[in-house]
């Protein structure tokens, strides 16, 4: 799957799991501003792990993450690292 598709799919998951408007999930959008809490992110990470068959550690998507773009970048990096390692 191309990286752009992965990032789109991550946004789909964010929208589904957090019941927020998909159109509001621009790269620059802040998670707080669109109403995504840290507890929502726990559920999002679980769904992403299930979707892509990867394991996301605490260091991969940590508390410092603030925007939607940072989430999609972090997931893309975990997937790229997993491929490189395989």
Partner 1 sequence: MRRVAITGLGLVSSLGHDVESFWNATRDGETGVAPTTIPEGDKLTARMVAEVKGWDGAKALDRKLLGLSDRFSQFAVYAAKQAVDDSGDMPRDNAAIIIGTGVGGAVTLDESYVRLYRENQQRIHPFSIPRLMANGPASLVSLAMGITGPSFAVSSACSSSNHAIGLAAGMVQRGEVDAALAGGAEAAITYGGIRAWEALRVISPDVCRPFSADRKGMILGEGSGMVVLEDMERAKARGAHIYAELAGFGMSADAVDMVQPSMEGAARTIKTALNAAGMNPDEVDYINAHGTGTPANDPTETKAIRTVFGDAADKLLVSSTKAMHGHALGAAGALELIATLGAMNSGIVPPTINFTEADPECDLDYVPNKARERQVKSAVSNSFAFGGLNAVLALRAAP
Which residues of this protein are in contact with partner 1, per CB under 8 A?
A: 19, 40, 42-43, 45-46, 49, 55
**Alpha carbons 15 and 5: distance in angstroms, whole number:** 15
Min dist CB 76 to partner 1, Å, is: 20
Query: For residues 12 and 40, which CB has a smaller minimum distance to partner 1 in the complex?
Result: 40
Please count the CA atoms within 13 angstroms of the CA of 18 that sit on its side-chain side. 27
Min dist CB 31 to partner 1, Å, is: 15
Min dist CB 40 to partner 1, Å, is: 8
Query: For residues 42 and 82, which CB has a smaller minimum distance to partner 1 in the complex?
Result: 42
Query: Do 67 and 31 contact (CB within 8 A), yes or no?
Result: yes
Coil vs helix vs strand at 29: coil
């Amino acid at each position: 799957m191309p990286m752009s598709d992965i990032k789109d799919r991550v946004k789909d998951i964010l929208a589904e799991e957090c019941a927020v408007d998909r159109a509001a999930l621009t790269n620059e959008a802040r998670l707080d501003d669109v109403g995504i809490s840290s507890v929502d992110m726990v559920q999002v990470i679980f769904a992403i792990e299930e979707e892509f068959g990867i394991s996301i550690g605490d260091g991969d998507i940590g508390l410092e993450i603030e925007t939607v773009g940072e989430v999609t970048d972090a997931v893309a990096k975990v997937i790229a690292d997993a491929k490189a390692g395989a």
